[in-house]
Structure 1
Amino acid sequence: MRLCVKKNIIKTQEIHISGRVQGVGFRPFIFNLALEFGLKGYVSNDELGVIIICQGENIKEFFDEIHHKKPKSSEIIFSEIKEIETIEIFENFFIKPTEKNIVVDIPLTPDFATCESCENELFNEKKPRYFYPFITCTQCGPRYSITKKFPFERENTSIEAFKMCPNCLEEYKNPEDVRFHSQTNSCPNCGIQIWLKDNQGNEFKGSNKEIFEKLALELSKGKIIALKNIAGYLLMCDATNSEVVSELRKRKRRPTKPFAVLFSGIEKMQDYLEISELQIQQFKSSESPIVVTKIKEKRDLPIDEISPNMNSVGAMFPYSGILKLISKIFSKPLIATSGNFHGSPICSTTEEAEQILGKIADFFLHNTLEIQHPQDDSVVKFSPKHQQKIVFRRARGFAPNYFFAEELSQLNKEKNKILCLGGDLKNTFAVVPNNHIYISEYIGDLANFETYQRFENTVKSYQEIFNFSPEIILKDLHPKYENQNIISKFSNVKLKEIQHHKAHFSAILGEKKLWKKNKVLGVIWDGIGFGTSTEIWGGEFFLHENEEIIRVAQLENFAWILGDKMSKTPKISALSILFDSEEKSCKVAIINSIGQSPMKNETEICEAPKVRNQNYLKQFFDENEWKIYTNLIEKSEVKASSMGRFFDAVSFVLGFEKSIHFEGESAMWLEKISQDAFDENVKLIDYLEEENFENIPTKKLFLKVFEEKLLGKNLGEIGLNFHYTLIKAIEKIAEKNNVKELAFSGGVWQNALLVDLAIDVLGDKFSLNFHEKLSPNDENISFGQLNYYLNLM
């Protein structure tokens, strides 16, 4: 007869925590907190985040304290505690190694700005990491940019190549050390090495401090440096030297697009810039983006070379160790722009940098850290009056996660693996490989071959990180977008097409959780997007109601000619709108002339404004151009409602009479002169006040702007009233459609003046929704495609 021995069952609690809990010092935090509470058990990374098995008293209080004291850079989006049965008795609390080959279902960890503690060490001669550019701890340093795969363990990153020395290993194992269990821990003895060479291949030998002192000397001589930062190369030069700034423009082939400027700290920024407390918070945040900020005065900054035709600059705080060192040693402001030729992706390897940037840089500061995910710096702006946040570029520090999307994930009931290709200009893509949504960093214009390669490589890296192959691919309606070339690399996928501007609208509906609202009017204004075979869209009003998106109004169409040339040549947009306006203008003139004395005949009435307007425009075209363009306009079967091209046309009439070198250039100039007028509190005039319309009357409004210019009115005031009239048009269309909830998306809504006017004019009557987590430009298309598919298809 066999005896059955009953084993003791120990009361044990299992805690699961999901969110941004890997690569943020969460396990060492849990370890030390568990010791405080006298608990036994372990903490480990798993596929869903962090798992804690614990035995002891006061576990519920321990669970609550996790949420109250969690690491600064962490984000908890789900947590649960439950009792489990186990026969295992733990003698202590420990960090358990992560199991091999798990497929993660958590947010990825972005790069973090260097923390204050590490910065103090960086400049402390008595510390071992004095002048070590890659100083990090559990709370700061590169993460996403060096990640090969997840979970976030040293062996899954580029840091794996650097084996910890005895001192680093001792810190890693010491629960009382700030680098306890820091996966990126390294020092000058065992870590990343830097070296300086000129573009002829001559290397400068010396300590880290001597290398930075040599760099500062060369910068003071007017040299251009290519410096490898944590996520890619930056091109740098003395921002107070107008000649070298101009030379950098020439070499980089970037004639007019503004450069970012690196300042050594907040105090130095305040000498040059008008910065608010909100902006200071952004600079000091773990993301530390570039912030577009108004210049106080010119001082010794050649603003005309740094930011042509603007009175603002993209200000950069030294967020990494390497930037802190160079900006400290070289005390003056520095140009810090992406290490590339204009339009190409940022360089990230030594070979790539020397091959491509060798024609730009005089010196190279290289390092031995391998970058897995090259990224540009993120860029944000706050509207001057209402401090509404506007994202210009979402990349380092923000990408690739999208938090607070649980509701969207729940709509994917069949757990389909989805790839959203986004747009072709300012591309991002989005993937749903699990229960989370990942939106890639800003990739750029896919018409550039190297940028397209970066797009393909980044998609591939996501496949590897998540062991992911798409079952559904979402694409734009445009039949010739470059990103569609990647579709052939996948088999057995379902393809779904989503219209460009409906994707924009869906993006803001998703970001602001408006899908369950009964009636929302989307004001979707951008450059261009494929509407139909005969229509280019870009000035759209959509109504979301009863689980449908319907186009209810638009910017009145005008002739679309010459494709990309029209997008880069504002005078063509002006000609298209004005030339197409003459017939209506004539009819208005006839009506207005009735009863006048002496009575003018119909021909005179029509010819006078027509001849005058055409004569004004003719001076900007040669005879051949005029003949060809006007003929194309008359015969054009393709029409456009592009708000972007409308802004180009108005900018041209008011003085922007050159070609566009970067997208949005003319509109930024128009915003600047109009903002100057707004700051002077001039009286606002609605140019369409007496008009009753279904669609914004493009030609009528443009003729009014044209007339004001010819009458010699102040150009800034005309521009301001143009902006104001558009906002009043939104008000009329919203009232006509009986809506109270407005949502704004599309690149035009990066215009801070337009945003401030919208808040002023519409804020009391309507609920207003602007992008804050995503950029309003085409970067949000991929997220919008996902939203549209999950909610409406």
Structure 2
Amino acid sequence: MSAPTARHGVVRESLIVRGVVQGVGFRPHLARIAAELGLVGQCRNDSTAVVIEVEGAAERVEAFATRLVGEAPPLARIASVSSVRLVPCGGTGFVIAASTSGSGLRTMVPPDAATCADCLREMFDPADRRYRHPFISCTNCGPRFTITVDLPYDRRTTTMADFPMCPRCSAEYADPTDRRFHAQPIACHGCGPTLTVTGTDGRVLASGTEPSLAAIGAIIDAGEVVAIKGLGGYHLVCDAGSDGAVGALRRRKHRPDQPFAVMARDIDAVASLVALPEAAVPVLTGSEHPILLLPRRIGAAVSDSVAPGLDELGVLLPYTPVHHLLMECGRPLVVTSGNLSGDPLCFDDDDARARLGAIATAFLSHDRAIAVPCEDSVLAWAPGAGPPLPVRRSRGYAPLPIELPLPGAGPAGSPSPAVLAAGAEVKNTAALARDGQAFLSAHIGDLGSWESRLAHQAATDQMLRFHRRSPAVVVADRHPGYASRAWAVRLAADLGVPLVEVQHHHAHLAALAAETGTLDARILGLVLDGTGYGCDATVWGGEALLLGDGGTTAARLGHLGEVPLPGGDAGVRNPVRVAAALMLAHGVDLDGTPVAAELTDAERRLLTAAAPARVGWVRTSSAGRLFDAVSSLLGIRHRISYEAQAAVELEVAARRTDVAVPLRFPLLGIGGAAQQGAAVLDPGPLIADIADAVRAGVAAEVLARSFHHALADGLARLTGVLAEQHRPDAVGLTGGVFGNRLLAGLLCERLAMDGHRVLTHREVPPNDGGIALGQVAICAAGLARGRPPAGHPTASHPTASHPTASHPTASHPEHQP
């Protein structure tokens, strides 16, 4: 049927807007534009979208459609706008109609947003009725994701349902011209949640806003550690300038070295602690308010124990009203996750008292429940390399979707089978792909404890409940020892759906392709991390893979040569053992190096005896283990207390100088008939050169810098050879090692000079926090191309060019403390 025709230049159009468009002030936004343009019509919510009918002069209706996107409210995220021409029917005014249930795709939950400038002005205005209200919010800010129990997003389906609105709040909530129109967290002193301070025994020490703030402030002033309930869980907080307070927090939290984040009162206070580029200010002050890693200033007014051995601080600004009121103290505070190391975030009041009672002296809490726990997001500043690098994607970003432009599929929003991914074992997130979009959970963490596995279960349950979808396929990592895989096996069996296993490094590369919209391209991926289960049952971690067939296949074209891992997990915790094993494997003398000085007599005897037959050694191609070995060989870090500590401190040393000396890092397996096999970067000459330079007295920081240059050069040569043979469309850099911004920058420079298009992460972390995205992307791409997952189990496994007889130990080396 032909479209209706306009009479006298008047048209009526139906627009359907999908995305994060509910609970963000979108309908008042539409009413304002319609009034300014003199248009008539209506808009309404349903459970899937905002549905609009608008009528008027054709050019004004066109302007309306343009402005509804271009002037969208700050928290809105528009995924799609579709339109249909209707028969004009006249009318007066533009009205916001009652919501309807709708059908089909579900709408999206907005992420939590930092307190906006308008609310802050009101909170600090003595004449305002919300003066110093610790839960002030509006349609442009405040909790969203963490208070949502179910969809559609309405007050009755949030944890604000327990707080009936007073008449004045009800009037604001119902007024389309008010900034708080349909703001579900709306409250005031008279009808909102209440602050309380309790002791570790649950005894109430103070209640109400001012008494609670005064009590908790006094406890912090006394040098104690306190627990504070935030948007998505509890924080452990203390005076960042107090060696005693920070030291006590480290001892009680069992976190001897891993850096803490620091909250500063305002952007000027941040600038007194770190070197603050102008471009970093919008990152810190945006609605997400992440933790941002920036270079620490000499003489910054924080304890050296906040980030021992590092040259950066993780800084963030207050993002809740309670934070702003607490930061009136004027000094920086340590604000770190409320948990014991290795455990999930505490978000329930009783659980927090039970698990944090041995750490915190008192608890600042409130009576609004947290429906979804959500850690702070972490970004790392990368000078000259564009946007900051995601380290942890959580508060402010989750649960926003990532578009999956799947080859052969319809546009985003077209119905497709749901795919649920279990994610990785460390830095875990789960993911659900449906209808051309991938939804990642907030950061869950390492699945080494029972509590963490319960948190993983809760996160996936919540995801399926929000989306009202049962997965048609469940995806997991191939590692037989992963708790995430065991969970996926059970779930697939319970649901009677296929289980698809995706190789770890293939998932890393597919995640990068998914976020950059290049799943249909041929991507040569350099995938560098600590460890992942390889297709030949050995441990991989320094891989060159060619992604093809819409992301569903990956071929192993090259890799790092063998870096032995003695003793599995114990070797990971003791880089000196990796360094000794690598040196012994390549005939490099231990004597005269920091490795020989650090090894115990027992360690040296065992490693020397094991070297000829490689007894008790796991064969790896792990770039992460190579970093560990070099860090120990240079005397920088021999034993670690947190994941990647040796590699992080090696990068810190390398940033202290611009001086580098040449080191050998030959590329083997190229030329002639060998081109049919894998190209291999041989670490033997590299480690021999470093050992000789150490004995010759070359400074550790110079050799650290030299190692980064040698690795970047080696990877660039490897890329050049493989690109010449396979003609990829782009080169992708992914895996946890590319959290090293020095290496990434050096390699990007070399690859760009060679004419390569280079892809790097900007939305999900290169580490295992992005694995779930890769898992769902591979499986969803296969389904879109008509490949039933159960019938093609090898489609998601990279080809192992050189399978070996070695097998990893039962305890997976990737799981680190």
Cα 1:759/1:618, change in 2 over 3 Å:
closer
Given that 1:28 and 1:181 are in contact with CA atoms closer than 8 Å, whether structure 2 keeps it comes out as no
Match in the other structure for 1:345: 344
1:36 positional shift: 3.0
Identity of aligned residues (%): 28
Alignment of 1:225-374 (within 5 A): 225-303=226-304, 305-328=305-328, 330-374=329-373
Alpha-carbon distance between aligned partners in 2 of 1:570 and 1:431, rounded to the nearest angstrom: 37
TM-score scaled to structure 2, two decimals? 0.88
Alignment of 1:571-720 (within 5 A): 571-582=576-587, 610=589, 612=591, 617-633=595-611, 634-636=613-615, 638-677=618-657, 681-683=658-660, 685-688=662-665, 694-720=679-705
**In structure 2, which of residues 746, 754, 757 is the aligned counterpart of residue 767 of structure 1?**
757
1:180 positional shift: 2.1
Alpha-carbon distance between aligned partners in 2 of 1:616 and 1:155, rounded to the nearest angstrom: 63
Match in the other structure for 1:157: 158
Structure 1 SS opposite 2:628: helix
Match in the other structure for 1:14: 14
1:704 positional shift: 1.3
| Structure 1 letter corresponding to 2:683 | T
Say which one has the larger Rg. 1
Structure 2 SS opposite 1:713: coil
1:657 positional shift: 4.1
| Structure 2 letter corresponding to 1:64 | T
Given that 2:226 and 2:237 are in contact with CA atoms closer than 8 Å, whether structure 1 keeps it comes out as yes
Asked whether 1:517 is paired with 2:521, we answer yes
Given that 1:534 and 1:639 are in contact with CA atoms closer than 8 Å, whether structure 2 keeps it comes out as no
Cα 1:259/1:83, change in 2 over 3 Å:
same
1:686 positional shift: 4.5
Asked whether 1:74 is paired with 2:76, we answer yes
Given that 1:742 and 1:768 are in contact with CA atoms closer than 8 Å, whether structure 2 keeps it comes out as yes
Given that 1:411 and 1:790 are in contact with CA atoms closer than 8 Å, whether structure 2 keeps it comes out as no
Cα 1:406/1:759, change in 2 over 3 Å:
closer
1:340 positional shift: 0.7
Deviations 1:743-769 (A, max 9, x none): 100000000111221233332222221
Alpha-carbon distance between aligned partners in 1 of 2:110 and 2:387, rounded to the nearest angstrom: 26
Alpha-carbon distance between aligned partners in 2 of 1:116 and 1:233, rounded to the nearest angstrom: 24
Given that 2:426 and 2:768 are in contact with CA atoms closer than 8 Å, whether structure 1 keeps it comes out as yes
Structure 2 SS opposite 1:353: helix
**Aligned positions, number:** 751
Structure 1 SS opposite 2:182: coil
Asked whether 1:142 is paired with 2:143, we answer yes
1:151 positional shift: 2.3
- Of 100-109 and 135-144, more deviation after overlay is shown by 100-109
1:115 positional shift: 0.6
- Of 207-216 and 722-731, more deviation after overlay is shown by 207-216
1:198 positional shift: 2.3
1:271 positional shift: 1.4
Deviations 1:95-146 (A, max 9, x none): 2333348564333311111110111111111111111121111111111111
**In structure 2, which of residues 521, 525, 530 is the aligned counterpart of residue 527 of structure 1?**
530
| Structure 2 letter corresponding to 1:295 | R
Cα 1:295/1:616, change in 2 over 3 Å:
closer
Cα 1:743/1:435, change in 2 over 3 Å:
closer
TM-score scaled to structure 1, two decimals? 0.90
Deviations 1:727-756 (A, max 9, x none): 101111122121573210000000011122
Cα 1:648/1:200, change in 2 over 3 Å:
same
Match in the other structure for 1:728: 713
Cα 1:388/1:207, change in 2 over 3 Å:
closer
**In structure 1, which of residues 62, 65, 77 is the aligned counterpart of residue 64 of structure 2?**
62
Alpha-carbon distance between aligned partners in 2 of 1:749 and 1:61, rounded to the nearest angstrom: 44
Deviations 1:671-700 (A, max 9, x none): 0000111xxx32453433798963111122
Extract unaligned runs of 5+ from structure 1. Answer: 1-9, 586-609
Given that 2:559 and 2:681 are in contact with CA atoms closer than 8 Å, whether structure 1 keeps it comes out as yes
Alignment of 1:773-784 (within 5 A): 773-784=763-774
Alignment of 1:183-198 (within 5 A): 183-198=184-199
Given that 2:404 and 2:517 are in contact with CA atoms closer than 8 Å, whether structure 1 keeps it comes out as no
1:711 positional shift: 1.1
| Structure 1 letter corresponding to 2:643 | E
Alpha-carbon distance between aligned partners in 2 of 1:334 and 1:790, rounded to the nearest angstrom: 44
Given that 1:104 and 1:150 are in contact with CA atoms closer than 8 Å, whether structure 2 keeps it comes out as no
Cα 1:410/1:128, change in 2 over 3 Å:
same
Cα 1:716/1:73, change in 2 over 3 Å:
same
Deviations 1:494-529 (A, max 9, x none): 1111110011111112222233334x3211000000
Alpha-carbon distance between aligned partners in 2 of 1:639 and 1:768, rounded to the nearest angstrom: 30
- Of 697-706 and 194-203, more deviation after overlay is shown by 194-203
Alpha-carbon distance between aligned partners in 2 of 1:427 and 1:159, rounded to the nearest angstrom: 29
Alignment root-mean-square deviation, CA: 2.4
| Structure 2 letter corresponding to 1:621 | L
Cα 1:224/1:638, change in 2 over 3 Å:
closer
Alpha-carbon distance between aligned partners in 2 of 1:115 and 1:742, rounded to the nearest angstrom: 40
| Structure 2 letter corresponding to 1:336 | V
- Of 526-535 and 113-122, more deviation after overlay is shown by 526-535
- Of 172-181 and 632-641, more deviation after overlay is shown by 632-641
Alignment of 1:488-499 (within 5 A): 488-489=490-491, 490-499=494-503
Structure 1 SS opposite 2:19: strand
Structure 1 SS opposite 2:293: strand
**In structure 2, which of residues 86, 105, 116 is the aligned counterpart of residue 84 of structure 1?**
86
Alpha-carbon distance between aligned partners in 2 of 1:661 and 1:690, rounded to the nearest angstrom: 34
1:556 positional shift: 0.2
Alpha-carbon distance between aligned partners in 1 of 2:298 and 2:590, rounded to the nearest angstrom: 44
Match in the other structure for 2:45: 45
Given that 1:534 and 1:638 are in contact with CA atoms closer than 8 Å, whether structure 2 keeps it comes out as no
Cα 1:702/1:410, change in 2 over 3 Å:
farther
Alpha-carbon distance between aligned partners in 2 of 1:338 and 1:616, rounded to the nearest angstrom: 35
1:544 positional shift: 3.1
Asked whether 1:544 is paired with 2:547, we answer yes
Given that 1:32 and 1:175 are in contact with CA atoms closer than 8 Å, whether structure 2 keeps it comes out as no
Given that 2:667 and 2:718 are in contact with CA atoms closer than 8 Å, whether structure 1 keeps it comes out as no
Alpha-carbon distance between aligned partners in 2 of 1:191 and 1:752, rounded to the nearest angstrom: 44
Structure 2 SS opposite 1:763: helix
- Of 775-784 and 545-554, more deviation after overlay is shown by 545-554
Alpha-carbon distance between aligned partners in 1 of 2:482 and 2:660, rounded to the nearest angstrom: 44
Match in the other structure for 2:563: 558
Cα 1:388/1:703, change in 2 over 3 Å:
farther
Match in the other structure for 2:395: 396
Structure 1 SS opposite 2:213: helix
Deviations 1:358-399 (A, max 9, x none): 111111101111111111100001123545521110000011
1:612 positional shift: 3.5
Given that 2:419 and 2:779 are in contact with CA atoms closer than 8 Å, whether structure 1 keeps it comes out as no
Alpha-carbon distance between aligned partners in 1 of 2:405 and 2:714, rounded to the nearest angstrom: 36
